[in-house]
Amino acid sequence: MAVDYAVIVLYLAGMLAMGWWGMRRAKSKSEFLVAGRRLGPAMYSGTMAAIVLGGASTIGGVGLGYQYGLSGAWMVFTIGIGLLALSIFFSARIARLKVYTVSEMLDLRYGGSAGIISGVVMWAYTLMLAVTSTIAYATIFDVLFGMDRTLSIVLGGVIVVAYSTLGGMWSITLTDMVQFVVKTIGVLLLLLPIAVVKAGGFAEMRDRLPDDYFAPLGIGGQTVFTYVLIYSFGMLIGQDIWQRVFTARGDKVARLGGTAAGTYCLVYAVAGAVIGTAAKVLYPHLGSPDDAFATIVKDALPVGVRGLVLAAALSAVMSTSSGALIACATVANNDIWSRVKGFVAARRAAPDGPDAGREPAEGPDAEAAGGSDEVRDNRLFILIMGIAVIVIAIALNNVVEALTLAYNVLVGGLLVPILGGLLWKRGTATGALASVAVGGVTVIGLMASLGVLANEPIYYGLLASLVTYVAVSLASKPTDPAVLTAWRARLAGEPAPEDDGTEEPAPSSAVHGA
């Protein structure tokens, strides 16, 4: 195992080194949060694939293959379908908006009154997504070192928080590229063929397992439909996914790079299910399907290769964890805290407020300080959110329930107002707010009464959200034509002020072919 340990330790050290390097590049808000909006197709597609294929897709995907056979691929497959739909139909428009968060998009579309509520919903989703990824460290470090669950979560969480806090999106992009390569080699090129050979090949697998293991819908048609609603639609609206779209250099990169990443997800889905099916042949009586990945890696792979494949699993967890963490911190700072600060400042600046008559600071010094302050503030929020994620991960045990809760609230509350804003010009701010409230409350209420893993909450939550959005929008005053004009201009990619009124130009040293 010494060689395996060395591979893992070198990998973790490399992640921290890239965080330090990324810190030197992240000098502005744009650089820190969206990598300066200048990723080329190779880096964009690699990092997008890394963010969506996390521990649930790797360890959980193999577990579903162990339990249901080839149809266990459907969960990850629907993630790929959602990413393909986002990339082909929406990514170009999203990239042209030049915003940092989904809530900023809603403010632009509806006139600045939908952001705070949607920000809270999105924050809850990204927080739970980061938590579920962080819990997965316990499984990997237990296999590697026999480490205590709490210590495993703290070790993995601290490394991710460290490199994310240091360099923001630049660090996360660089580490995600490494993680993408490691996952490709470890899971697709090594574990997949070795597992099939160890199981005796496909013919032996078919002879040893029931026919249901090779049926396309062996997992159940209703389950597949629920996966589509939760994961495919979740890909269309998640802050963690949109924040990666914002890093694209242009429309073409967002569309083609995302399409490549989505196609990669489809291949990864099938690979995970096949590995799980092979594990069922080799180890038919495991205590839990989620043990399949760790067991086949530990028992079936040679020294060195085992370390690389475990590093691949660690890569999957870290890529999703870091992406969710920076998304959570971005929403907390830009959509919630900044709005609260703005509200307080407006009250203080009122004619009878304590700061009445005080002139705001102006001049180049104030502008320079503002840029560095924004990076510092976002860095601080990543650190705070990271500590919160580690603490919550230690307290929770059920990863599937936490992930389902996150996606149900996200899709039930925000899918309709976001897609409605992009596709239906008659949608209004009042309709959007009512839709978020009704859809979110319906989903939470039904999960409380029927159980988190029930299918009905997302079905009825989406239906309630859609009916409310359409009915309230038609009954309320149409959106101000000036707001819609500005919105259409942003969708068309026409120049628009961002933050201080200018978009930072890409420096001549930018690697546009990355």
> Which pLDDT belongs to residue 353?
55
What mean pLDDT is predicted for residues 462-479? 95
Could you read off the pLDDT of 302-313 as tens digits, one per residue? 877 888 887 887
Is the model's pLDDT at 434 over the cut of 60?
A: yes
pLDDT for 372 equals 63
Question: What does the chain come to in residues?
Answer: 514
Query: What pLDDT digit, counting tens, does each position of 130-168 carry?
Result: 888 888 777 677 766 777 888 888 988 898 898 888 888
Digit-coded pLDDT (tens) for 89-146 = 999 888 888 888 888 888 889 887 666 778 888 898 888 888 888 887 776 777 667 7
pLDDT of residue 215: 94
Residue with tokens 């924050």: 123
Domains of the chain plus CATH, in order, are 2-346+375-399 (1.20.1730.10)
Enter the tokens of residue 240: 């963690």
- Residue 504: is its pLDDT beyond 50? no
Q: Please check whether residue 138 is in contact with residue 157, taking contact to mean a CB–CB distance below 8 angstroms.
A: no
pTM, full prediction: 0.81
User: What is the predicted pLDDT for the residue at 93?
Assistant: 86
The per-residue pLDDT of the chain, averaged, comes to 84
User: For the purposes of burial, counting CB atoms within 10 Å of the CB of 364, is it exposed (0-12), middle (13-18) or buried (19 or more)?
Assistant: exposed
More reliable by pLDDT, 237 or 24: 237
pLDDT of residue 197: 94
Dihedral (CA of 418, 421, 422, 426) sign: positive
265 C-beta neighbours (distance < 10 Å), count: 24
pLDDT at 505: 41
Compute the distance between CA of residue 445 and CA of residue 448 in angstroms, rounded to an integer: 5
Residue 78 to residues 160, 277, 309, 462, Cα–Cα distance (Å): 27, 19, 24, 18
Q: What is the model's pLDDT at position 364?
A: 42
- Quote the pLDDT of residue 363: 46
pLDDT digits (tens, 9 = 90+) for 435-457: 999 999 999 999 999 988 888 99
CA-to-CA distance for 114 and 362, rounded, in angstroms? Answer: 30
Q: Which one is predicted more confidently, 474 or 2? A: 474
Least confident span in 225-229, 234-238, 256-260, 399-403: 399-403
Report the alpha-carbon distance of residue 458 to residue 381 in Å, rounded. 31
Averaged over 64-76, what is the pLDDT?
94
Distance of CA 175 to the CA centre of its chain: 15
d(CA 333, CA 290): 35
pLDDT per residue as tens digits for the range 348-384: 776 655 555 444 444 444 334 445 678 888 889 999 9
Q: Whose CA is closest to 33, among 381, 403, 480, 292?
A: 381
What value does the mean pLDDT take over residues 41-50? Answer: 91
Give the mean pLDDT of 186-199.
Answer: 93
pLDDT the model gives residue 497: 46
* Burial letters 300-334, b for 16+ CB under 10 A, else e: bbeeebbbbbbbbbbbbbbbbbbbbbbbbbbbbbb
Q: Is the pLDDT of residue 431 over 90?
A: yes
Instruction: Name the 3-class secondary structure at 352.
Output: coil
Contact 472, 435 (CB under 8 A): yes
Q: Which is more confidently placed, 450 or 23? A: 450
Mean per-residue pLDDT for 190-208? 93
Beta carbons of 457 and 446 less than 8 angstroms apart: yes
What pLDDT sits at residue 359? 46
